[in-house]
Amino acid sequence: MSCGLFPVIPETVSGIPGNPVSGGSGSGTKDGSSPKIIITKEISPVSIKQGKEAKITVTVYNHGALPVNDVEILDTCLPELPVVWGNSRYTIPSLSPDDTRILTYTVRAEKAGIYRLNKTTVMYADVDGNYSMSYPDSAKITVIRSLLAEPDEEKSEDILVSFMKFIDGLKSFS
């Protein structure tokens, strides 16, 4: 559930490219070919009520003719959308040509607002050990405040604490 773990992802779906939004092209191998990694990031639903959950899906597809190795995926969490299930950091030892890994985790909307999710970063090595990085486009989610929600207690407490400090400050002038 935390953002700090690097589990190996066992899920593999072959031949499903998804909806490409960004790709990596690597520096190329000795034979002139280069990895072709396609990464997509989706959130569902895209509009939720505060306190509800949304599922984030990151798909990594090797569209190239050669495998890629030592794949690291980092999807940085927003404080307003903490991870409540799964992990947002992954490692994949190797990704064969036409192979796909689908990574999912769930976030909970803590505060109302419109949030652009942080970009996912994917780092990988070609067969010669040259490393490359890719960044898919970011997804956006709208979090709507409940019509029946109580006033924000934090703000009420902050106002009370500020007022008490003000009163204490006045007492010191007496």
Q: pLDDT value at position 59?
A: 92
For residue 9 the two structure tokens come to 């992802």
Q: pLDDT value at position 147?
A: 86
Q: pLDDT value at position 30?
A: 53
In a domain? residue 54 = yes
The answer to whether the beta carbons of residues 139 and 43 sit under 8 Å apart is yes
In a domain? residue 45 = yes
Q: Return the CATH number at 122.
A: 2.60.40.10
In a domain? residue 2 = no
How far, in whole angstroms, is CA 25 from its chain's centroid? 22
- Please provide residue 161's backbone torsions phi and psi, each rounded to the nearest 5 degrees: -65, -45
Q: Which of 113, 125, 70, 107 is nearest to 92 (CA)?
A: 70
The answer to whether the beta carbons of residues 1 and 86 sit under 8 Å apart is yes
Q: pLDDT value at position 172?
A: 60
In a domain? residue 1 = no
In a domain? residue 156 = no
**Which amino acid is located at 17 in the chain?**
P
Range of the domain at 102: 13-145
In a domain? residue 168 = no
In a domain? residue 19 = yes
Q: Return per-residue pLDDT of the chain as tens, 174 residues.
A: 444 433 333 333 333 333 333 344 444 555 556 778 999 999 999 999 999 999 999 999 999 999 999 999 998 888 999 999 998 899 999 999 999 999 999 999 999 999 998 888 999 999 999 999 988 778 889 999 988 877 665 555 556 666 666 666 666 655
Q: Is the pTM of this model over 0.85?
A: no
Q: pLDDT value at position 9?
A: 38
The full DSSP string for 126-157 is -TTS-EEEE-PPPPEEEEEPPTTPPP-HHHHH
Q: How many domains does the chain have?
A: 1
Q: pLDDT value at position 17?
A: 36
Report CA torsion sign: 72, 75, 76, 79: negative
Q: pLDDT value at position 87?
A: 87
**Which amino acid is located at 101 in the chain?**
R
In a domain? residue 139 = yes
